[in-house]
């Protein structure tokens, strides 16, 4: 493109009404960052009371308002995290983190919570106090996930995806409707990108650009959290689940995770049951 080229991604037409699918969004969405969520819930069943998990299906899905700042200490949310199974979701470009989030699955209450974390968030490790960025560069992912115990949060599973594989995953899955809450504008390689309020269908590379460059600071954390929530809602479906283990294998090969095919196969019956329910997905402030 030439230097003066302008790409306008302002949405057109009427806004689409949000639809929030069932529970397993988390498992498959997190595994591919867009679909690995389904796998997460599958794993979560090993820790949950399944009878309770499958019994709470009647409440309508709502998105509660945010109550505090994104950068608030996760210890403020300890009680909520204690009632759920928590996963660490990371995306990076080479050795630099793009974002880091805790995804908390409370199957008993049909809730998924996404907690975006500042990359300078401090953790206590055996090697001393380090922020998330430093720990990502110097420690294994299992050690990084376990380090959240210093904040009284238990994290057993992690999913790490590179930016390139994130784009591959999203290309396979298709467009994601993202609600844009303001006017955003940024330049990359002499090309100007603009976004206007409304629902915009984003695919692959554009989705990643929006998450990385549309906002900064706490606003960026919030935007990233809501974008990941949109991915969960879009790609959790009975149709995707019916693709079975071959689909899971394709997804799992594009991420670095301690979630296994055995975990997936062990909980397929529960996963199928969960697909008939509804789930409340929200970003934790």
Q: The sheet that has 184-188: what strands, in order across it?
A: 6-8, 191-195, 184-188
Q: How does pLDDT run across 63-82, given as a tens digit for each residue?
A: 333 434 555 677 666 666 77
- Name the residue ranges covered by the structural domains of the chain: 21-168+225-283
- What CATH number has the domain spanning 21-168+225-283? 3.30.420
Q: Which helix (H) or strand (E) holds 194?
A: strand 191-195
Instruction: Output the pLDDT for position 272.
Output: 64
Between 192 and 37, the more confident residue is 192
Q: How does pLDDT run across 193-235, given as a tens digit for each residue?
A: 999 999 999 988 999 999 999 999 999 999 999 999 999 888 7
Structure-block tokens of residue 93: 């470009």
Percent of the chain at pLDDT exceeding 90? 43
Residue 281: pLDDT above 60? yes
Instruction: Output the pLDDT for position 82.
Output: 74
Give the confidence band of 270 by pLDDT, cuts at 50, 70, 90.
low
Give the confidence band of 276 by pLDDT, cuts at 50, 70, 90.
low
Give the C-alpha separation, 87 to 186, whole Å: 32
- The DSSP string of 80-128 is HHHTSEEEEEEEEETTEEEEEEEEEEEGGGTEEEEEE--TT-EEEETTE
């Amino acid at each position: 493109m030439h230097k003066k080229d302008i790409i306008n991604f302002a949405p057109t037409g009427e806004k689409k009404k949000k639809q929030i699918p069932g529970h397993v969004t988390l498992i498959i969405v997190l595994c591919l960052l867009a679909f690995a969520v389904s796998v997460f819930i599958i794993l979560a069943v090993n820790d949950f009371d399944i009878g309770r998990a499958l019994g709470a299906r009647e409440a309508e899905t709502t998105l509660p308002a945010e109550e505090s700042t994104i950068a608030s200490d996760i210890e403020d949310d300890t009680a909520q995290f204690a009632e759920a199974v928590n996963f660490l979701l990371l995306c990076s470009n080479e050795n630099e983190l793009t974002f880091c989030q805790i995804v908390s699955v409370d199957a008993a209450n049909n809730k998924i919570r996404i907690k975006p974390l500042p990359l300078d968030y401090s953790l206590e490790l055996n090697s001393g106090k380090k922020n998330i960025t430093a720990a990502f560069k110097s420690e294994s992912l299992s050690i990084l996930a376990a380090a959240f115990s210093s904040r009284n949060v238990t994290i057993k599973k992690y999913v790490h995806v590179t930016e390139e594989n994130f784009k591959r995953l999203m290309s396979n899955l298709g467009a994601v409707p993202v609600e844009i809450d303001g006017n955003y504008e940024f330049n990359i390689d002499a090309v100007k990108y603009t976004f206007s309020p409304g629902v915009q269908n984003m695919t692959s590379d554009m989705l990643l650009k929006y998450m990385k460059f549309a906002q900064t600071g706490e606003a960026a954390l919030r935007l990233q959290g809501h974008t990941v929530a949109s991915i969960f809602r879009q790609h959790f479906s009975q149709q995707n689940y019916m693709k079975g283990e071959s689909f899971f294998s394709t997804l799992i090969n594009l991420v670095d995770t301690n979630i296994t095919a055995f975990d997936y196969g062990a909980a397929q019956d529960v996963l199928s049951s969960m697909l008939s329910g509804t789930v409340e997905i929200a970003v934790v402030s």
